[in-house]
């Protein structure tokens, strides 16, 4: 029984899985942040282009 407990305490395979999970979580958080920022910037660009097109269309009539 003592040997089994010592073997269990020395086993570090679960630690590796946890580390990979944390790394994957950080990567996902970075991707979500980047995509959100890009989406916000694209919305601003599209709104600017739309406003310019509407202004140009209004000035031609």
Q: Which domain holds residue 55?
A: 1-59
What pTM did the predictor assign?
0.58
Q: Which residue has the tokens 């959100």?
A: 36
Query: Which parts of 1-61 fold into alpha helices (H)?
Result: 2-10, 13-60
What's the pLDDT score for residue 30? 97
Distances (CA, A) of 3 to 8, 25, 40: 9, 35, 58
| pLDDT tier, 8 (very low <50, low <70, confident <90, very high otherwise) | confident
How many domains are there within the chain? 1
What's the pLDDT score for residue 61? 65
Instruction: Measure the CA dihedral 25/28/34/39, to 10°.
Output: -130
């Amino acid at each position: 029984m003592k040997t089994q407990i010592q073997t269990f305490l020395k086993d570090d395979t679960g630690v590796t899985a946890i580390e990979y999970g944390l790394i994957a979580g950080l990567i996902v958080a970075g991707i979500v942040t980047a995509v959100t920022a890009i989406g916000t910037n694209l919305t601003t660009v599209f709104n600017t282009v739309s406003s310019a097109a509407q202004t140009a269309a209004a000035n031609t009539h």
